[in-house]
Chain A
Amino acid sequence: MKINTQKSWVALVGNPNSGKTAIFNLLTGLNQKVSNYPGVTVEKKIGTAHFNDGNQFNLLDLPGTYSLTPESMDERIVTEQVLHWIHGHEPPNTIISVVDATNLSRNLYLTTQLADLGIPVVVALNMMDMVKDEFSINLETLATDLGIAAIVPMSATEKWGQKELLDALQKSIAGETAENSFPIFLNDDIAKALYPLKEMFVEHLNYNERLANAQALRLVTRKSTLEIYNDLSANGMAKDESFMRTLRENRQAAVEALEDVGIKHRIMEATLRYEWLDSVLTTDRVHIDAKLTEMSYSEKVDKILTHKWAGPAIFVLLLYFIFQSIFTWATVPMDWIDRGVGWIGNQVLQLLSAGMLRDLLVEGVIAGVGAILIFLPQILILMFFMTILEDTGYMARVAFMMDRFMTRIGLHGRSVLPLMSGYACAIPGIMSTRTLDSWKERLITILILPLMSCSARLPVYALMIVAFIPAVQVFGFLNLQGLTLVAMYFLGTATAFILAKIFSIFIKVESKSSFVMELPPYRTPLWRSVLHQVFNRGKLFVVNAGKIILAISIVLWFLASFPKVEEVVVNENPIRTSYAGKIGHTIEPLIEPLGFDWKLGIGLITSFAAREVLVSTMATIYNVQSDVDDVVQLKDAMKSDLNPKTGLPLYTPLVALSLMVFFVFAAQCMATFAIVRNETNSWKWPLFMIVYMNGLAYGASFIVYQGGLALGFG
């Protein structure tokens, strides 16, 4: 979405977990668009909101960051954006700096950096509902000290302060930006060392005093800032090569000058800013130090949730509960959808006269799409749980608890989160590996992530389990169907971990990793926000998957219905002689050792587009095949399908098991590999994944089926 230059626009910047998303949703309502930053896959959210007088403005949500120094990918985006702004490239009219009022100094650190930019800043002092009587800071004085437009106390959850925030925004847009001096005191040594850099910025880039000081300070503190200027100059926004050379030389000179007088230049910016903040927020510091030994609510909860033994046990139980409830809770809405789709199919059958169009609609479109929609309840339930775990702050605890284990297999505690979102869909999971700073850990996480059984496999597992695994109780309390599902998830996950270890031994990439991660306080998630995210992801699934599935359903219906045979031989499948049948028959010898027939062969090919397409493919195949004017129940059709040679059921529980195992490992979803290409910037890794995953799938299915036959099952 292009930003409308006529309208004012406002950028939302803040620490992770400061409530940015909550405020964004509060201001924009449902008027938002999610896209990606050009070239990278970090989410970019833009929405429209209204001032109190009804005028519209655009709101851009930037990734959460602790500072404007480019360390991780997310932070780099914010830093680059900010640098574009100060070079006159579509700067926002105002920045909202979201600050968690329960954590003032660390949040305001970023605010002090933003205040230097010469763009008006309004602080949204969020989470004020959590602050009790201890808040003794004069906000007006603080705003003046920081040199910003206003500080507005608010609560995104209790929905107050929104009106005041909007007023402050509008006022700051209308008003002139006061050009104030750099608020932080620089002693003579530092001022002298920074002087040449500062002058360069003022003279060549037209920075004001405050910004020039701030950028000089940042440049000396973090060498990575040079790279950002380098990129800018490549874009023609900063100066040419000679400017960059002088900048580099002056930086080196400043570093040496500071080292001579014994100043630790590498932690200089943070030291100066925090010293300044602590002097401004004296009362805050006193409170906080006094509370160091006091047990907070979250600490009490963590006594249990991250307890040595109880913690991991609870985590495992929670996972089991989630997967079990996916199966039990979803049955009712699935039944509704099933009946609804059947009803629509029948309506169309009655409304239209027999012919090609009717066949296409009923057998291709409705049957295919219906077979996918039916799994929407399960996907939504999974998304719902994942979002809650994330928004409550529990996910960070999972990373904390699992880090030791994860480092042993060559990953990082933070890999847990992308890997777990892989249970929903590999694509957002792969995208969220950007929070990993180390390239090696990130790469390995990406490589094994598609082995986490994603929700697109769920339809396949569900179909096979419901059709072929009996719903009996084992050990008195476990349901065999649920257990089979858990086994499939376990198989994928365990294999992923083993491969991670192997990859970490063989992949030699230079990279360092650290694990400095905030454990945010436990918070009640905002239901509106959770439902919103669940809705968005569900929509994404239906729209994106739906498009592919619709197209494939139609193509498939065509392949399965043509060429039309005039005379149907008794007991002969018409689909056998169709184009689809021919393709399936061609690959049948290859997949026969796995227990798959030509019909599943067609399904395997079409599921390369997306795994769940297998289900709609089978639906299409059976609908075409059954000459009954009704939408058949797919599972019954598969169950009653007989092998023409032996007269025995074609699909046995063993075949179902073999197929599920195949789906655990196989590289099937094209979109995943497109994303991997994007993230790793080469075709090497996606190709590697396709080869290793499909090899694994074939091998494992072969062992399951042939082993099962040898043991007398099937």
Chain B
Amino acid sequence: MTLFDLKDGECATVQAFTGEMELQSRLVEMGILPGIKIRRIKTAPMNGPIELKVRGYHVSLRQDDACNILIQQ
């Protein structure tokens, strides 16, 4: 499954990335790598971006990009 399918409030482990390189390199530089545990906190108003908690900090990314992050619950 992908991060897109994860429900708000649930935890998962990042498995791999698909899609554009720009997104991947940005994510890995911020420490979001395969093997890391994440929690999907919430979805922004108007069905906007997703808020994640990872490595003790919060980061947001778009739902389209969330489809490119493969996870395992």
Contacts and interface: CB of A to CB of B under 8 A. Distances in A.
Interface of A: 66-67, 69, 71, 102-103, 105-106, 109, 221-222, 266-267, 270-271, 274, 287-289, 291-293, 298-299, 302, 306-309, 311-312, 400-405, 407, 413, 437, 512, 514-521
Contacts of A400: 44, 48-49, 51, 60
Contacts of A404: 44-49
Contacts of A221: 25
21 contacts: A66-B30, A67-B29, A106-B55, A222-B25, A266-B24, A267-B33, A271-B28, A293-B11, A298-B58, A299-B53, A306-B44, A306-B45, A308-B45, A309-B45, A400-B60, A403-B60, A514-B26, A515-B60, A515-B61, A516-B61, A517-B60
Interface string B41-73: 110111111010101111111100100000000
List the 6 closest pairs (A to B, CB-CB), nearest first: A404-B48, A270-B28, A519-B58, A288-B56, A404-B46, A67-B29
B48 A403 contact: yes
A270 B33 contact: yes
Contacts of A102: 56
B56 A270 contact: no
User: Dominant SS at the B interface?
Assistant: mixed
A516 B30 contact: yes
Contacts of A407: 62
A271 B25 CA distance: 10
B42 A292 contact: no
A46 B25 CA distance: 31
B22 A512 contact: yes
Interface string B10-31: 0100000100111111111111
A109 B29 contact: yes
A403 B29 contact: no
Contact of A267 (B25, B38, B41, B49): B25
Contacts of B27: 516
A266 B17 CA distance: 11
A132 to B, nearest CB: 13
Contact of A514 (B23, B48, B57): B23
Nearest to B46: A404
B32 to A, nearest CB: 9
Contact of B23 (A289, A306, A516, A518): A516
B53 A292 contact: yes
A71 B33 contact: no
Contacts of A66: 29-30
Interface of B: 11, 17, 20-31, 33-34, 37-39, 41-42, 44-49, 51, 53, 55-62, 65
A519 B50 CA distance: 11
Given A106-B30, A404-B48, A515-B49, A71 B62 contact: no
B29 A270 contact: yes
Nearest to A266: B21
Residue of B26, B34, B39 with highest tally of chain A CB at under 10 A: B26
Contact of B65 (A67, A306, A309, A514): A514
Contacts of B65: 514-516
Given A266-B24, A274-B33, A515-B62, A103 B48 contact: no
A293 B44 contact: no
Contacts of B37: 289, 292
Contacts of B22: 71, 437, 512, 514
A657 to B, nearest CB: 33
Nearest to A315: B45
Contacts of B58: 298-299, 518-521
B31 A267 contact: no
A514 B20 contact: yes
Residue of B23, B41, B56, B61 with highest tally of chain A CB at under 10 A: B56
A73 to B, nearest CB: 15
A221 B41 CA distance: 31
Nearest to B57: A103
A497 to B, nearest CB: 14
Given A400-B44, A404-B45, A520-B57, 17 more contacts: A66-B29, A106-B31, A109-B29, A222-B25, A267-B25, A270-B29, A270-B33, A288-B56, A299-B41, A306-B42, A306-B45, A413-B49, A514-B23, A514-B65, A518-B30, A519-B59, A519-B60
A407 B28 CA distance: 24
A105 B31 contact: yes
Residue of B20, B48, B51 with highest tally of chain A CB at under 10 A: B48
A222 B21 CA distance: 10
Given A71-B26, A266-B25, A401-B45, A288 B60 contact: no
Given A103-B55, A306-B45, A309-B45, A512 B39 contact: no
Given A400-B48, A518-B59, A271 B30 contact: no
A456 B41 CA distance: 41
B41 A403 contact: no
Contact of A69 (B23, B25, B55): B25
A106 B30 CA distance: 6
A400 B48 CA distance: 8
A403 B47 CA distance: 10
Nearest to A512: B22
A257 B51 CA distance: 37
A309 B37 CA distance: 29
A401 B48 CA distance: 7
Contacts of B20: 512, 514
A279 to B, nearest CB: 13
Nearest to B42: A306
A403 B49 contact: yes
A184 to B, nearest CB: 15
Contacts of A298: 58
Contacts of A106: 30-31, 55, 57
A105 B21 CA distance: 23
Contact of B56 (A103, A271, A309, A413): A103
Contacts of B53: 292, 299
Nearest to A406: B48
A298 to B, nearest CB: 7
A524 to B, nearest CB: 18
Contacts of B48: 400-405, 413
A306 B30 CA distance: 23
Contact of A519 (B24, B25, B51): B51
A516 B24 CA distance: 10
